[in-house]
């Protein structure tokens, strides 16, 4: 009996397709904090599908959305240490690794997304992608979400209206100081904690893009919104430097192809969602979207813009000037 079983096993080994014995594809973790139905969520899915179509025998991209694996501050460290493979944190979340990206947080620096495109595509913008390489982080490209809007639990039209209110910010000292200039109190916290903090009235306001306000239902506790377009929420698609340099040239080309396709797609989604989600919010009976006049907007600019000068040395004058140039 033993001999029969043994012979059968030997026969199976000989006849089995090689695939049966091939190694399972290597799992690559892509961690992010937003809903799947957002520019970043859609971009991650496209990246997975294009990459697996090309290299699916070798790699599988496992996406963790909604901060279900970790929040963004941890994701940046996890990329640097090679514990995860891809993330696309907001440009405001890299201050532990470089000061230069703070340029993207300066209020009212970019008048519109075309200016952002021009700056990101310029030689200065492209050089910022490798500003964290010595710390293990490779920037593969920029992804848009869009311009940020101010929201609160009470009506506001002037900077003074926000005095004393607690505003959630990302963990970025530029953003913290921006609210301090308005005499509001900045409360830095992870994106995944914002909804609950609003619901429990631990914060009275926040700033975010139309798609984040909409997809995370912040409007349920923030019925007052202003079309302020005062700041930028964009992302950098990042990977670990050793992982990236360890790929073969051919593999890297496929990853670059997946990057190009998915960023282009994500940017198109960002553009569409920015106007659609704003329209959806403006249509809600419970929501009031205030459109400031040019004069009113100028008072917000005057209140926040002093930040530029105080960050000139840290960020670098040339970088700020290149960004300004892109906006002209
Ligand atoms: C936030 O923390 O508000 C954003 O960075 C969330 C995101 O990734 O869009």
The model's pLDDT over 205-231, given as tens digits with 9 standing for 90+, comes to 999 999 999 999 999 999 999 999 999
> What is the band of 11 on the pLDDT scale with cuts at 50, 70, 90?
low
| pLDDT above 90 for 4 | no
Residues 131 and 101 sit within 8 Å (Cβ to Cβ): yes
User: In whole angstroms, what is the distance from residue 88 CA to residue 148 CA?
Assistant: 17
pLDDT at 20: 54
Q: Is 212 in the pocket of ligand 1 (CB under 6 A)?
A: yes
pLDDT at res. 22: 72
Rounded Cα distance, 61 and 24, in Å: 13
What is the whole-number distance in angstroms between the Cα of residue 71 and the centre of ligand 1? 10
Residues of the chain with pLDDT > 90, as a percent, come to 93
From residue 218, how far is each of 66, 196, 204, 246, 250 by CA, in Å?
15, 9, 11, 42, 44
Q: Is the pLDDT of residue 5 over 90?
A: no
Q: Calculate how far, in angstroms, residue 88's C-alpha sits from the geometric centre of ligand 1.
A: 10
pLDDT reported for residue 227: 98
CA of 33 to the centre of ligand 1 (A): 7
pLDDT at 156 over 90: yes
Q: Which residue has the higher pLDDT, 24 or 13?
A: 24
Rounded Cα distance between 197 and 244, Å, is: 38
This model of the complex carries an ipTM of 0.97
170 lines ligand 1 (CB under 6 A): yes
Number of other residues whose CB lies within 10 A of the CB of residue 224 = 19
Residue 124 has pLDDT above 80, yes or no: yes
pTM more than 0.90: yes
Q: Is 232 in the pocket of ligand 1 (CB under 6 A)?
A: no
Residue 90, ligand 1, Cβ within 6 A: yes
Is the pLDDT at 12 greater than 70? The verdict is no
What's the confidence (pLDDT) of residue 16? 55
How large is the average pLDDT for residues 237-265?
Answer: 98
The pLDDT confidence band at residue 23, using thresholds 50, 70 and 90, is confident
How does the average pLDDT of the chain come out, rounded?
95
Predicted local distance difference test score (pLDDT) of residue 13: 54
Rounded to the nearest whole angstrom, what is the distance from the C-alpha of residue 188 to the centroid of ligand 1? Answer: 12
Expressed in angstroms and rounded, the spacing between residue 102 Cα and the centre of ligand 1 is 15
pLDDT, residue 63, reads 98
Average pLDDT value for residue range 267-285: 97
- Ligand 1 atom closest to Cα of 32? 8
């Amino acid at each position: 009996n033993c001999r029969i079983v043994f012979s059968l096993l030997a026969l199976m080994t000989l006849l089995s397709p090689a695939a049966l014995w091939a190694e399972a594809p290597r799992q690559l973790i892509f961690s992010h904090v937003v809903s799947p139905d957002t520019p970043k969520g859609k971009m991650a899915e496209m990246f997975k599908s294009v990459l697996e179509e090309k290299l699916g025998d070798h790699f599988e991209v496992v996406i963790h959305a909604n901060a279900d694996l970790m929040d963004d501050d941890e994701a940046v460290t996890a990329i640097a240490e090679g514990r995860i493979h891809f993330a696309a944190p907001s440009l405001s979340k890299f201050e532990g690794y470089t000061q230069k990206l703070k340029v993207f947080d300066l209020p009212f620096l970019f008048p519109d997304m075309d200016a952002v495109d021009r700056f990101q595509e310029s030689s200065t913008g492209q050089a910022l992608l490798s500003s964290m390489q010595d710390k293990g982080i490779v920037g593969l490209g920029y992804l848009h979400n869009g311009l940020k809007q101010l929201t609160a639990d009470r009506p506001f039209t002037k900077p003074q209206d926000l005095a004393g209110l607690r505003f959630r910010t990302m963990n970025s000292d530029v953003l913290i100081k921006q609210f301090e200039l308005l005499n509001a109190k900045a409360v830095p916290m992870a994106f995944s904690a914002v909804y609950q903090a609003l619901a429990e009235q631990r914060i009275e306001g926040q700033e975010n893009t139309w798609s984040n306000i909409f997809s995370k239902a912040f409007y349920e506790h923030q019925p007052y919104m202003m079309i302020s377009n005062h700041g930028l929420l964009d992302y950098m698609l990042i990977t670990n430097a050793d992982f990236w340099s360890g790929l073969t040239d051919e593999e890297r080309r496929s990853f670059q192809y997946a990057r190009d396709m998915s960023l282009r797609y994500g940017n198109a989604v960002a553009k569409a969602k920015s106007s659609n989600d704003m329209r959806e919010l403006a249509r809600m009976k419970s929501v009031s979207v205030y459109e400031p006049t040019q004069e009113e907007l100028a008072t917000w600019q005057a209140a926040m813009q002093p930040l530029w000068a105080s960050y000139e040395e840290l960020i670098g004058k040339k970088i700020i000037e290149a960004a300004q140039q892109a906006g002209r």
